[in-house]
Amino acid sequence: MEERWYFKKTNDALREEVRAKANRNREPSVGIIDSQSIKTVDVSGERGYDSAKKVNGRKRHIVVDILGLILAVVVHKGNIQDRDGAKIVLLKMIGMYPRLKLIWTDGGYAGQLIEWVKVTCNWILEIVKRNDDVKGFKILPHRWIVERTFGWLSKYRRLSKDYECLTETSEAMIYTSNDQAYGQAFSKNIIILTLSDYKIYQVGQSSSIVLTFLANKRDTCSTANVTKSSYKVMR
């Protein structure tokens, strides 16, 4: 699905600008990976039963940077194990982030995946473990960042369940919803992004982001206005 890559390119370009504004290198050196099981509605498309979470639907596998901004997304059937789903999303990232060296994750990804990541991707997969002596809830270093991103995504009704027939459309919706974080970071800038050549132009000052992109090859244009509290597509 070609449109999905439009949203991916939008996400990548805006993430780089947010990182630059935060006085960080535009390219990440670390990532955090996790998955979220989500129910599907009564539509056609692939789905499966996640026996661990007791959810019949799909899984959203995401990798985020240290700021919680999305690097890659894969949506797949719920009955695919986390370690196998991680391979799908990590394979998509090979060659995309030259500075990436380290990926943090939880104990569900332990085992042979660590060696696979080292050999196949040339990255270090580090397990952030919970201290068995600690009782009750405890925020774990690094892992909370990706959980916060899932929290951002859960604020969108379109993502409360998986309403899409195609997993590619689900991935596009996640990239689109993640623009809310960029809207907060760029609360005083206007950016025009032309997706035909993926270039960013700084054009002025405003309280919102304006993204202009070619919706399809027929030169149909759509403008997305992103503010701190809303995301609205205007035709």
Query: Is residue 85 one of the residues assigned to a domain?
Result: yes
Domain range spanning residue 21?
2-185
* More confident position, 2 or 140: 140
* Rounded distance between C-alpha atoms, residue 153 and residue 158, angstroms: 9
Query: Is residue 95 one of the residues assigned to a domain?
Result: yes
- Report pLDDT for 186: 56
Query: Is residue 200 one of the residues assigned to a domain?
Result: no
SS (H, E, C) 61-119: EEEECCCCCEEEEEEEECCCCHHHHHHHHHHHHCCCCCCCCEEEECHHHCCHHHHHHHH
Cβ-proximal residues to 128 (8 Å cutoff; 6+ apart), any chain? 104, 105, 106, 140, 141, 142, 143
Give CA separation, 96 vs 72, 99, 121, 147, in Å: 10, 9, 11, 23
Residue range 133-178, pLDDT digits in tens: 656 655 667 888 999 899 888 888 889 999 999 999 999 999 888 7
Query: Is residue 161 one of the residues assigned to a domain?
Result: yes
- Report pLDDT for 95: 93
Stretch among 78-87, 172-181, 209-218 having the lowest mean pLDDT: 209-218
Query: Is residue 39 one of the residues assigned to a domain?
Result: yes
Give CA separation, 105 vs 1, 10, 63, 202, 209, in Å: 29, 26, 10, 36, 32
Stretch among 24-33, 58-67, 204-213 having the lowest mean pLDDT: 204-213
Instruction: Select the highest-mean-pLDDT range: 100-109, 137-146, 154-163, 203-212.
Output: 100-109
- Provide the domain count of the chain: 1
Inform me whether the pLDDT recorded for 230 exceeds 80.
Answer: no
CATH number at residue 166: 3.30.420.10
Query: Is residue 115 one of the residues assigned to a domain?
Result: yes
